[in-house]
Amino acid sequence: MKSSYNSHIKRIVLGLVVFAVLGFVGKIVLTPKSFGKYGPYRADAIDEEANLEIRHMTNASCLSCHPYEANIHLTGLHKTISCEFCHGPNADHVKAGKVYGKLPVKKKEEIKVLCLRCHNKAIQARPGEVIKTVVMPEHLEKQKVKVTHTCDQCHHVHAPLKYINRAKKIVGIKEKS
């Protein structure tokens, strides 16, 4: 007498064999040719990454073409801040192989917005007075200037305290002794 389980076992074994063959063929077909050349990595990924458009650069790349700003920036309070934080990605500046791209010039309210990203006392997450913060309307009133006054009218944006004494003299604020 034949066992009634033989047909079930044959189907299970056949299913497992088909599944294994499909898995093996799938692995061969779906695995990139360069996979495994450098350990468990795809060697072609190196060239693909190298050919991607560069978006961000270091401060050194900016300062190599902007020596005046380099001198001021590297000696100022903002020396630890990336140029791209305020000016945007370098890729927007040097597009399509052009060396002399143009970044949009920040004007009036844009400058205030940029400065207040870090210097707004109204934002409670600031670490005490590690960064000098202000409440803008109060600061402008204390300095005896109009509410439409922008930060760059008294502060050099790359080195905010460099020319502040000169600016105070212009608006008539006396130095504390």
DSSP string, 91-113: HHHS-TT-SS--PPPP-HHHHHH
Burial call 112-126: b when 16+ CB within 10 Å, e when fewer: bebbbeebbbeeeee
Same domain, 81 and 64: yes
Residues 125 and 167 grouped into a single domain: yes
Q: Say whether both 115 and 160 belong to one domain.
A: yes
Q: Once rounded to an integer, what is the mean pLDDT over residues 25-29?
A: 94
Residues spanned by the domain of 112: 106-177
Q: Which residues pair with 134 in a beta bridge?
A: 120
Listed residues 71, 88, 104: the one ending a domain: 104
Asked whether residue 110 falls in the same domain as residue 167, the answer is: yes
Query: 145 and 96: one domain?
Result: no
pLDDT of 47 strictly over 60: yes
- Check: CB of residue 78 under 8 Å from CB of residue 159: yes
CA torsion through residues 9, 11, 15, 21, sign: positive
Identify which has the larger pLDDT, 118 or 126.
118
Can you read off the two tokens belonging to residue 101? 């791209």
Number of domains the chain is built from: 2
More confident residue, 124 or 63: 63
Among 61, 142, 131, smallest CA distance to 94 is for: 61
For the segment 52-75, the average pLDDT, to the nearest whole number, is 81
Closest to 132 (Cα-Cα) out of 88, 174, 105, 164:
164
Q: How far apart are CA 18 and CA 27, in angstroms?
A: 14
Domain membership of residue 31 (yes or no) is: no
One domain, residues 83 and 149: no
Question: Is residue 116 domain-shared with residue 143, that is, in the same domain?
Answer: yes
What is the pLDDT, as a whole number, of residue 177?
46
- Judge whether 29 lies within some domain: no
